[in-house]
Amino acid sequence: MEKEFPISATDPTGKRLHVSKEPHPLIGKQHLIDIHHPMVDPIAAMRMKKGKIVSAEEAIELIRDDDTIVTAGFVGAGFAEELAIALKERFLKTGRPRNLTLTYPAGQGDGKTKGLNHLALEGLVGRIICGHTGLTPGLGSLVNEDKILAYNVPMGAVTQLYRDIAAGKPGNLTHVGLGTFIDPREDGGKLNELTKSTGEDLIQLMTVDGQDYLLYKSFPIHVAFLRGTTADPDGNITMEKESMVLDALSMAQAARNSGGVVIVQVERLADRGTLNAREVIIPGILVDCVVVAKPENHWQTFGEPYSAAFSCEHRVPMQGVPPLPLDGRKIIARRAAFELKPNSIVNLGIGMPEGVSRVANEERILEYCTLTAESGIIGGLPMGGLDFGAGINVDALITENYQFDFYDGGGLDIAFLGMAETDAEGNVNVSRFGPRFTGPGGFIDISQNAKTVCFLGMFTAGDLNLFVDEGRLRIDHEGRQKKFVRQVEQKTFSGTYAAAHRQRVLYITERCVFSLCDEGLELIEIAPGIDLESQILALMDFKPIMRQPPKLMDERIFRFGRMGIKEDLLTIPLEERFTYNAADNTFFINLENYYIKSSEDVQRMRQIVDDALAFQDKKVHTIANYDNFNVSPHLVDEYVEMVKHAAGFYESVTRYTTSTFLRMKLGDELERRGVAPHIYESRDEARRALHDR
């Protein structure tokens, strides 16, 4: 395919010029045209519609000194490795471009040499505005040595900001980040002394209707480094073999509407008109250059060259996922799994929280909740390590910014996140440790907005050695480093903010569990086999609140084999099965999947009904759900007598079950004792019958 590509030039003042390839229609010779970055005048652009496919080196020529580059990627997924390598090589060869600003939401690297580690060169980068730096130690060194300006921004806030930049808005106004080191009243997200002394303020505190918010200010984006699977000559981009779609569209729009250039790395080309329009993620009108990458620079993730499961092309048998070894990490994941509830929507952070999904799969409860990751996956099993952000057997893939919209609005029932160090106020630090910067990633967005958040981490760090012994925990060698400190080094999570907003917060370790209360951290559970004084209190820099002696953690956590928590998960506590609605004077009884096995169960049920209805000044209307209900044969008489007692509080009652056998059996027993059965097949029939009476 013949390429048409602009030849760049500069005038003596350094202004970017375009050298036309064709004679001017009026003056008949080549000429220089002053253009708006990044490309060409409208007439040349029309000719170039067939020539968007270029080499990486040609595309990189469009980048100027002081440009701001946005890069897509999640660890390694969606990252344009070919473009990053080409930019590095050009800088090493020519010393240009210089003083670039890099902005990106998630960590993009392997912790060694890949991803944005290619660009960790003094002189090439002058500033970073990002969500995570832990996977790019080279950039972290430049930050720590005060050689570049550096800002952390919560991952969700910055993904939404790109959308706001595309829309021409002044910034992203949100509550996310309040009370943390992102808050301008703390550090304003500034990571080093150079930024604090000379850097502009990118985050502004604002008050709207008496409530505090943070404004993450917009800035122009000059270049976008994006990635897809297939491109046509017009620049239309599909992502059928990518493991996630990320925010490529918003980034492309932000660059285009900032007057910038959009460069997309792909693995293959298609003829014009052959791509399915529904599969095009980035339309060609936004794309300036398409670069076909070498296979070694286009892995699906940094851990996997290609997996059809990651790109949702097929599902894999979950039974093939091996169980985790019973070590400290699994003990923590097991205790965390007890917090899962049916139909809950869950987020799992990177690192130790990844084990919760493995435990849930091992216990056969994964199907009863929906796991998500901030990369945009919904359902299935999220991956970890260098595959983090990808998933197998997922139900849906959406963009990062829409995922964070859902998170920020309270869509998460529970989140499991890491915990590096914690203090008496319940603050958590996961973002800075001495000279090492990692950044919050999506931690702040998620931890501030989930209805329940569980922080997971070992009680001490450094050479900790432990083992389980018949349902008890034994510490063979204690860790060197305390993790429950007087004051965290950086406040990535604010305990005070969470307590003020009545958020449920747990801190789960291998040997004990804390909860957040108004006064700070409260010790509520201790592992069997652990000594409270010597193995907990003596290893903390503060004394936790203890309103009562901590109860023992479930001993099943400390035994080999499955814990068998599926029944616990699916069993609704008896007290929660009886609800009185005063507005319409209706008493709801939910006995679905309940099995009465003992006389004590019957007596507890009788007591609950008495407590709820004995002091009402009028009789109530009652609807009872008997779906999949069962009662031991020797308890039928006692149970029916209890029902007859409860009927004394009822003005009217209807019952329903889809079981024909139970309708006949229970109906006969009630009728034999003078109680009108009124048992229907569905809830709607029961409701209609109740209202008709």
pLDDT at 629 over 90: no
pLDDT at 563 over 60: yes
Query: What pLDDT was estimated at residue 616?
Result: 86
The gap between the terminal CA atoms of the chain, to the nearest Å, is 79
**How many CB atoms sit inside 10 A of residue 482's CB?**
15
**How many CB atoms sit inside 10 A of residue 646's CB?**
23
- Confidence category of residue 591, pLDDT binned at 50, 70, 90: confident
How far is residue 496's CA from residue 24's CA, in Å, rounded to a whole number? 68
- Can you list the alpha helix ranges (DSSP code H) found in 443-553? 443-449, 495-500, 532-535
Angle at 144 between CA 138 and CA 149, to 5 degrees: 90
How far is residue 11's CA from residue 34's CA, in Å, rounded to a whole number? 10
pLDDT in tens, 645-691: 999 999 988 877 755 544 455 555 556 655 555 555 555 655 665 55
How far is residue 295's CA from residue 77's CA, in Å, rounded to a whole number? 14
338: left (phi over 0), alpha (psi -120 to 50) or beta: alpha
How far is residue 664's CA from residue 679's CA, in Å, rounded to a whole number? 9
pLDDT in tens, 383-434: 988 999 999 999 999 999 999 999 999 999 999 999 999 999 999 999 988 7
Q: 374 an active-site residue?
A: yes
**Percent of the chain topping pLDDT 90:** 73
Residue from 572, 337, 358 nearest 454 by CA: 337
Catalytic residue among 61, 81, 242, 374: 374
Choice among 237-241, 411-415, 622-626 with the minimum mean pLDDT = 622-626
pLDDT at 321 over 90: no
**What are the backbone dihedrals phi and psi of residue 301, each rounded to the nearest 5 degrees, phi first?**
-135, 175
Q: Which residue has the higher pLDDT, 10 or 223?
A: 223
pLDDT in tens, 28-52: 333 333 334 444 444 444 444 457 9
**Percent of the chain topping pLDDT 70:** 88
Q: What is the pTM of this model?
A: 0.79
Distances (CA, A) of 568 to 527, 572, 574: 20, 8, 12
